[in-house]
Structure 1
Amino acid sequence: MAVATNAKRRLKRAGLAFSAGLVAPTAVAAGDLSVALIPPIAAAPLLVGSIGALTVAAFFLVKARQIRKLTEDMQHQIMALNEHSIVSVTDDRARITFVNQKFCDSFGYSEDEVLGQEASLIYPEEKFEKFVNVRDMLAEGKSWSGEMRLKHKNGAPIWTRTTIYPLFSKKGKHVSSISVRTDITDSKTSQAAQNIRESLHMLRDQVFVFDAATLQYVYLNRAALRNFGWTESDYIGKRVGSQRANYDHSDFMRRAQPLLQGKTEQLIYELDIKDVPHEITLQLIPSHTGRAQFVAIARDISERQALEKTKDEFIATVSHELRSPLTSIKGGLGLVLSGATGDIPDKARNLLDIAHRNADRLVLIINDMLDLEKIAAGQMPFTMQRVDGAELLRDAVAANTAYAEKYKVRITAKGLEDGTQIECDPDRMFQVLTNLLSNAAKFSTPGDEVVVELQETDDATILRVTDTGAGIPEEAQASIFERFTQADSSDRRAKGGTGLGLSIVKAIVERHSGTIDMRSREGEGTSFIINLPRKQVETYPAPALHIAG
Structure 2
Amino acid sequence: MITFLCIFFAATAAFFYLRHRKVRNILRTMVAAVEERRAYLFEEDAGWVKDMGLCRLALQLNELLAEHERSSKQELGYLRQIETTLSNLTEAVLIVDDRSLLVMANSAARELLGLGPDCEGRRLEGVLKSAGFLEFMELAEEGSAPAWQEIEIVRGRDSLFVEVTGARIPESDSEGRPLTLFVLHDISRLKKLENVRRDFVANVSHELRTPVTVIKGFTDTLIEDHEHLKSEEQIRFLQKIYKNVERLHLLLEDLLTLSRLEGEAINLNRQPCSLRKLIHDITENFLPRLNLDEQTLVCDLDPELDIVNVDQIKMSQVLQNTLDNALRYAKGFSRIIVRTSRDGNYFLIEVEDDGCGIPEKDMAHIFERFYRVDKGRSRELGGTGLGLSIVKHVVQLHGGTVAARNVSGGGLCITCRIPIKPPAIKGHLGLVGESVAQ
Q: TM-score of the superposition, structure 1-length normalised? A: 0.39
Q: TM-score of the superposition, structure 2-length normalised? A: 0.48
Higher relative contact order (CA 8 A, sep 6+): 2
